[in-house]
């Protein structure tokens, strides 16, 4: 098996453009529609996690080699031996996002951080090539 590495930086041009557009729209609400400042401030609170990620410039990703799967997301990190993994479960949620969990041979389920995952179709193919069983479950609640 060829080692695989995926890394994503939180400071991206896409994030900067989205924040500029959101703040421009909020300023436009104040200037053109005379929106209440407290209301605009309340709407701006939703952007604070993105601003924090932009300032911190943390990274997220995962590594898969012959012996273990390791992942990191900001300050969180973890790894597991491939011998402990029974199969991978891909759950498509109602918002069309895909969550990936490892089901261990003990029956315990560990969810991989969403921000550390590569595109799910590529990741599924990689896991199957590595010899893992992959289950897909569409539109589940849990």
pLDDT digits (tens, 9 = 90+) for 47-84: 999 999 899 988 999 999 999 999 999 889 999 999 99
Model confidence pLDDT, tens digit, residues 1-46: 789 999 999 888 999 999 999 999 999 999 999 999 999 999 999 9
Percentage, residues of the chain above pLDDT 90:
85
Edge to edge, the sheet with strand 109-111 lists 109-111, 98-104, 85-92, 133-138
- Predicted local distance difference test score (pLDDT) of residue 142: 58
Rounded Cα distance between 128 and 132, Å, is 5
Fold of 4-8+60-138: PH-domain like (2.30.29)
CA 1 to chain centre: 25
Rounded Cα distance between 74 and 86, Å, is 27
Rounded Cα distance between 141 and 90, Å, is 13
Domain ranges of the chain: 4-8+60-138, 9-56
Closest by CA position to 41, among listed 56, 30, 55, 54? 30
| Prediction pTM value | 0.77
b (16+ CB within 10 A) / e for 16-32 = eeeeeeeeeebeebeee
């Amino acid at each position: 098996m060829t080692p695989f590495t995926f890394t994503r930086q939180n400071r991206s041009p896409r994030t900067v453009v989205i924040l500029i557009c959101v703040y421009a729209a909020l300023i436009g609400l104040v200037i053109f529609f005379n929106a209440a400042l407290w209301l605009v401030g309340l709407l701006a609170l939703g952007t604070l996690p993105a601003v924090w990620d932009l300032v911190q410039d943390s990274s997220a990703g995962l590594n898969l080699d012959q012996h273990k799967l390791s992942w990191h997301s900001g300050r969180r990190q973890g790894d597991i031996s491939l011998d402990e993994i029974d199969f991978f479960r891909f759950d498509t949620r109602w918002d069309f996002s895909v969550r990936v969990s490892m089901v261990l041979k003990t029956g315990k389920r560990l969810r991989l951080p969403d921000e550390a995952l590569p595109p799910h179709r590529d990741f599924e193919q990689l896991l199957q090539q590595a010899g893992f069983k992959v289950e897909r479950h569409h539109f589940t609640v849990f």
